[in-house]
Structure 1
Amino acid sequence: IPEEKWFINLHKIGNVGSASSYIQLEELFNTKTLRRGEKILLSVPESGRFSYVYALLEVT
């Protein structure tokens, strides 16, 4: 996935644990124009990089 398509807010918000993905999605929804059918790949690494969680979301 090209870097220009990434949405990252870690530098502004910092690591807030399990709330990170929800805060990032809220900011994405409030600052970007999303169109029906667009897909969002959510990648959430655990702070020790031991495990990752992925979710594929679709705008409806």
Structure 2
Amino acid sequence: MHYAKMKGNEVFKVAVRMFAECAEKILTRNGFTSDDVSLFIPHQANLRIIEAACKRVSLPMERVFINVDRYGNTGAASVYVALEEALAAGRIKRGDLVLMAAFGGGFAWGAVLVRW
């Protein structure tokens, strides 16, 4: 029989690298740095990946919205669930620069910057 297998260490390394590259690329292309980001809402895969990626782009965890501790990895919905929670909690206000980034199946990834 064949079984699906995940190589966790490799996934971690690639996910951290791609999160960081994706964030740096979108910020640079738009004339911003991590200092300009009011709130980062990442895909909620796991806390270790989020922390490592944020460290790599010098983004303090105080400006990162986390809910993976409450819901786990909600897959494709994770950024949208976190966005709704951040709005409800008053973490986003008019004029804020919000960075959202995600990665998923097949190692697809992307990011968006929104001036709220």
How many aligned positions are there? Answer: 58
**Could you say what secondary structure the match of 1:35 adopts?**
coil
AA of the residue aligned to 1:8: I
Change (3 A) 1:20 1:33: closer
Give the distance between the partners of 1:10 and 1:47, measured in 2 at CA: 18
Q: Residue deviations 1:2-39, cap 9 Å, x none?
A: 11111111111111111111101100000124321101
Q: State, as a whole percentage, how many aligned pairs show the same letter.
A: 34
Q: Does 1:58 align with 2:58?
A: no
Q: Of Structure 1 and Structure 2, which has the larger fraction of its residues in strand?
A: 1
* Alignment map for 1:26-37 (pairs within 5 Å): 26-37=84-95
Q: Does 1:17 align with 2:75?
A: yes
Give the distance between the partners of 2:84 and 2:101, measured in 1 at CA: 15
Give 1 or 2 for the bigger CA radius of gyration.
2
TM-score (structure 2 length as normaliser) = 0.44
Change (3 A) 1:15 1:4: same
Gaps of 5+ in 2: 1-58
